[in-house]
């Protein structure tokens, strides 16, 4: 029941958010005064676990942080170690890594679109209900996902915790003919991916905006995945002008600090709330989408990415994810077509006393690693900044806005159940990755 005075909502069961999440919402006189989300345990355990290990170990160990995006962890880890050792992986080895990463984007995004996010727009409680009522769609989603999985198996050795990636490259690289069956599957997946964009574009989207700064890697000439320069753009179009900084300076810009509506420490970028992930990536890299993906974006009502149009409605992130799946499929096809087997599966990465940083675009956003190595390669420090931790303040603000917009709508009172669903949707828009945190949901609604 809605009534004047103070009420506090503590949401106890956040459905379809991977892992553990708890939300604390305080409403005073029909104004949301606090939206506090505990959704991510920064991987401090892994940082401690890495100290004293060899410089060759972070890709394997950090891949276990997240079963949904192990490749992202491997890639950021490899780059940070290679950066410390003065090695740059280029040419076909870098292309193979990018191909592997495309597989992860395809798999992770499709999981979120079909099994976690779409039920929100179709009024279904979960993926099981969706499968009963929209079976063909769910089967299409599983087909796309299997294609991403096939790339991970072919290049990574196995789909969860891939074992074939190593510092400097791979343990083994495929011959071009080994990749041909993947190309065949990817061509089929392209049709399914384009159909996905049309499917999600037809959903009803609540009218919503956001004013977070946007942070993504920028890799001029191509849509950033595995490399690029951290770039920040302002929320409403083009002023102030985009700014960028080297990966190695990221910790000078990203700080954990107190924000007004929350007692928790939250990441801020140069003192401001910011968002990383598909919406940020699309804003920074949209002009470099493959023509097929760009056309799909235009048809889906995302404006013209070539002209720098951005998407500020977090509920439409599902459309941007669908466009990114098309992009990843096209990019994977291009890489396979141009691929020539490298002479050696990996470069030598000789340890030295140094610090190195690496950042790549995990499906959920920018993932940063930094390692300090002793002369013999033993790790003396490790720092991991995952996308969901960076997005926490932005997600909280989205929740606050969504609930406030609902409370401001006159006529009908907002019940606990409705607000709970609304909060869950606002959170799911950002596909928070908390599967490496505890897996139990803890969402309570408390009203006073």
What residues are designated binding site for Ni(2+)?
A: 66, 69, 433
Contacts 24+ apart (CB under 8 A), 91-94: 91/342, 92/173, 92/339, 92/340, 92/341, 92/342, 93/169, 93/170, 93/173, 93/342, 93/345, 93/346, 93/347, 94/226, 94/227
Quick note: the x/- pattern for another protein over 11-50, rule CB under 8 A, is --x-xxxxx---------------------x---x-----
Report the DSSP beta bridge partners of residue 367: 360
At 37 the three-state DSSP class reads strand
Looking at 307-315, 327-335, 389-397, 432-440, which segment touches another protein (CB under 8 A)? Answer: 432-440
Is the CB of 413 or the CB of 438 nearer to another protein?
438
> Given the rule CB under 8 A, which of 10-18, 24-32, 227-235, 412-420 is the region that contacts another protein?
10-18
Tell me how far, at minimum, the Cβ of 180 lies from another protein, in Å.
21
| Residue of 146, 143, 229, 248 lying closest to 191 (CA atoms) | 143
Judged by DSSP in three states, 275 sits in: strand
CA gyration radius, the chain: 21
Residues 209-238 that bind another protein (CB under 8 A): none
Q: Is 126 in the site for another protein (CB under 8 A)?
A: yes
User: Does residue 53 interact with another protein by CB under 8 A?
Assistant: no
Q: Is the Cα dihedral 127, 142, 442, 314 positive or negative?
A: negative
From the CB of 340, what's the least distance to another protein, in Å?
31
As separate numbers, helices (DSSP H) first and strands (DSSP E) second, the chain gives: 14, 16
CB closer to another protein out of 59 and 356: 59
Cβ distance to another protein smaller for residue 99 or 144? 144
| Contact characters 173-202, another protein, x per CB under 8 A | ------------------------------
Is there binding between residue 107 and another protein (CB under 8 A)? Answer: yes
Q: Which residues are annotated as a binding site?
A: 47, 66, 69, 384, 433, 436, 439
Measure the CA–CA gap between 360 and 372, rounded to whole angstroms.
19
Cis amide prior to 403 (ω within 30 degrees): no
HEC profile of 44-74: HHHHHHHCCCCCCCHHHHHHHHCCCCHHHHH
Closest approach of Cβ 173 to another protein, in Å? Answer: 25
Each residue 134-163 as x (binds another protein by CB under 8 A) or -, in order, gives -x--xx--x--xx--x---------xx---
User: By rule CB under 8 A, what string of x and - marks binding of each residue 288-327 to another protein?
Assistant: ----------------------------------------
Q: Is 132 in the site for another protein (CB under 8 A)?
A: yes
Considering the complex, state which of residue 42 and residue 228 has its C-beta at the smaller distance from another protein. Answer: 42
Q: How many residues bind another protein (CB under 8 A)?
A: 35
> Could you tell me which of 196, 193, 116 has the C-alpha nearest to residue 147?
193
The smaller minimum CB distance to another protein, of residues 153 and 211, is found at 153
- Residue 184, classed as helix, strand or coil, is helix
Q: Does 54 bind another protein (CB under 8 A)?
A: no
Q: Residue 154 has what DSSP assignment?
A: I
Q: Comparing C-alpha atoms, which of 318, 316, 295, 315 is closest to residue 109? A: 318
> To 5 degrees, how large is the angle CA 374–CA 378–CA 379?
85
Between 373 and 433, CB nearer to another protein: 433
CB of 400 to another protein, least distance (A): 25
Taking contact as CB under 8 A, which single stretch among the options 125-133, 186-194, 269-277, 336-344 is the one that binds another protein? 125-133
Is residue 439 near another protein by the rule CB under 8 A?
Answer: yes
3-state DSSP call for residue 164?
A: coil
Give min distance, CB of 119 to another protein, in A.
11
Is 97 one of the binding residues for another protein (CB under 8 A)?
A: no
In terms of DSSP bridges, do strands 262-269 and 254-259 run parallel, antiparallel, or are they unpaired?
Answer: antiparallel
Alpha carbons 36 and 397: distance in angstroms, whole number: 9
243 scored as a contact of another protein (CB under 8 A): no
Segment interacting with another protein, rule: CB under 8 A, options 23-31, 76-84, 110-118, 408-416: 110-118
Residue 112 binds another protein (CB under 8 A): no
In this structure, the number of other CB atoms found within 10 A of the CB of residue 102 comes to: 30
Closest to another protein by CB, 297 vs 325, is 325
Q: What is the rounded distance in angstroms from the CA atom of residue 58 to the CA atom of residue 63? A: 8
Interface with another protein (CB under 8 A): 13, 15-19, 41, 45, 64, 67-68, 107, 110-111, 115-116, 126-128, 131-132, 135, 138-139, 142, 145-146, 149, 159-160, 435, 438-441
């Amino acid at each position: 029941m809605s009534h004047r005075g103070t009420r506090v909502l503590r949401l106890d069961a956040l459905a379809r958010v991977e892992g553990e999440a708890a939300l604390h919402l305080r409403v005073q006189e029909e104004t949301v005064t606090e939206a506090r989300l505990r959704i991510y345990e920064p991987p401090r355990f892994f940082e401690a676990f890495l100290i004293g290990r060899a410089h060759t170990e972070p890709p394997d160990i950090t891949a276990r942080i997240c079963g949904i995006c192990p490749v992202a962890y491997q890639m950021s880890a490899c780059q940070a170690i290679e950066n410390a050792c003065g090695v740059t992986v280029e040419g076909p080895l870098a292309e193979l890594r990018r191909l592997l990463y495309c597989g992860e984007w395809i798999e992770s995004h499709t999981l979120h679109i079909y099994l976690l996010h779409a039920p929100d727009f179709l009024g279904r409680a979960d993926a099981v209900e969706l499968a009963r009522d929209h079976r063909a769609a769910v089967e299409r989603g599983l087909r796309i996902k299997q294609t991403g999985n096939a790339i991970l198996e072919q290049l990574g050795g196995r789909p969860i915790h891939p074992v074939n990636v190593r510092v400097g490259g791979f343990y083994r690289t495929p011959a071009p003919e080994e990749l041909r069956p993947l190309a065949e599957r990817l061509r089929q997946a392209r049709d399914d991916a384009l159909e996905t964009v049309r499917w999600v574009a037809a959903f009803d989207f609540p009218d919503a905006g956001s004013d977070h700064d946007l942070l993504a890697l920028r890799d001029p000439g191509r849509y950033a995945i595995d490399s690029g320069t951290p770039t920040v753009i302002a929320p409403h179009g083009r002023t102030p002008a985009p700014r960028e900084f080297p990966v190695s300076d990221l910790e000078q810009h990203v700080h954990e600090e107190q924000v007004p509506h929350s007692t928790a420490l939250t990441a801020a970028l140069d003192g401001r709330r910011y968002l990383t992930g598909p919406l940020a990536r699309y804003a920074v890299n949209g002009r470099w989408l493959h023509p097929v993906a760009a056309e799909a974006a235009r048809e889906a009502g995302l404006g013209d990415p070539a002209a720098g149009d951005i998407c500020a409605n977090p509920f439409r992130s599902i459309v941007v994810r669908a466009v990114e799946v098309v992009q990843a499929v096209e990019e994977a096809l291009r890489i396979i077509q141009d691929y020539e087997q490298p002479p050696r599966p990996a470069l030598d990465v000789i340890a030295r006393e140094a610090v190195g940083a690496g950042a790549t675009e995990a499906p959920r956003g920018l993932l940063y690693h930094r390692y300090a190595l002793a002369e013999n390669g033993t790790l003396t420090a490790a720092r991991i900044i995952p996308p969901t931790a960076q997005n926490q303040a932005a997600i909280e603000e989205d929740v606050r806005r969504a609930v406030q917009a609902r409370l401001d709508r006159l006529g009908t009172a907002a019940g606990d159940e409705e607000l709970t669903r609304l909060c869950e949707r606002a959170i799911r828009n950002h596909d928070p990755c908390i599967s490496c945190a505890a897996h139990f949901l803890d969402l309570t609604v408390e009203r006073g």
